[in-house]
Amino acid sequence: ETGVTQTPRHLVMGMTNKKSLKCEQHLGHNAMYWYKQSAKKPLELMFVYSLEERVENNSVPSRFSPECPNSSHLFLHLHTLQPEDSALYLCASSQDTSRLSYNEQFFGPGTRLTVL
Amino acid sequence: AQSVAQPEDQVNVAEGNPLTVKCTYSVSGNPYLFWYVQYPNRGLQFLLKYITGDNLVKGSYGFEAEFNKSQTSFHLKKPSALVSDSALYFCAVRGEYSSASKIIFGSGTRLSIRP
């Protein structure tokens, strides 16, 4: 494993449910990311947190709500999702998001979400 | 605007033959280029990156990539393919004037190595 863990690995939820995805990184990084991976589409960056402050929010619907309580943990709170939100949700971390950083991202195994 | 293209959805190669997975990009300024691999039911795993210097970059599992500035390409290569190389490969890029969070991923190329 890469040092980034995600739970749960699989989640099935109805459109009226509320659930949360959890990500934890053990690499000492100071930036964390949420991506959405759908079949035959490029990875979609959803949110970026650097030093626990949200620095990116790429027009994601409000039914997705991120939370970063510290540099090691990242949550994605889900409510009233739609079937088209079914996808693999990947968490990643890196050291530094500044323009001078060349650091690669380390990814977790993902949560496979199915919305019924 | 930044963009990256992987023109092939799938590449099929016989084991032992050389393989190439193509990637082209468009950025402002100099590019920082990355290759990642994704095995089934796993997250993306970093393979290699080009920042500056030698145009031929060597990475994990015997993979290498060649940066070609005039063709704006960063193709992934391996001299002799293994069945275990079968996976989904992503090229990613960001421009030198962008923050590290603004990395753009391609849509991926599925590599299939037949025995």
Give the span between the Cα atoms of A64 and A47, in whole angstroms.
Answer: 10
Chain A contact for B105 (CB, 8 A cutoff): yes
Give the span between the Cα atoms of B62 and A61, in whole angstroms.
Answer: 41
Residue B100 and residue A98 in contact, taking contact as beta carbons nearer than 8 Å = yes
Beta strands in chain B (DSSP E): 3-5, 10-14, 19-21, 24-26, 31-38, 44-50, 56-58, 64-68, 73-78, 87-95, 104-105, 109-114
How many Å lie between the alpha carbon of A40 and the closest alpha carbon of chain B?
Answer: 6
For residue B49, list chain A residues with Cβ-Cβ distance below 8 A: 102, 104
Give the span between the Cα atoms of B5 and B7, in whole angstroms.
Answer: 6
- The model's pLDDT over B72-84, given as tens digits with 9 standing for 90+, comes to 999 999 999 999 9
Mean pLDDT of B62-76: 97
Q: Is the pLDDT of residue A2 over 60?
A: no
Of the pLDDT bands very low, low, confident and very high (cuts 50, 70, 90), residue A42 is confident
| Helix-strand-coil split of chain A, %, nearest 5 | 5, 55, 40
Q: Compute the mean pLDDT over every residue in chain B, rounded to the nearest whole number.
A: 94
Residue B104 and residue B5 in contact, taking contact as beta carbons nearer than 8 Å = no
For residue B34, list chain A residues with Cβ-Cβ distance below 8 A: 104
Chain A contact for B7 (CB, 8 A cutoff): no
The answer to whether the CB atoms of B101 and A56 lie below 8 A apart is: yes
B32: closest chain A residue by CA: A102
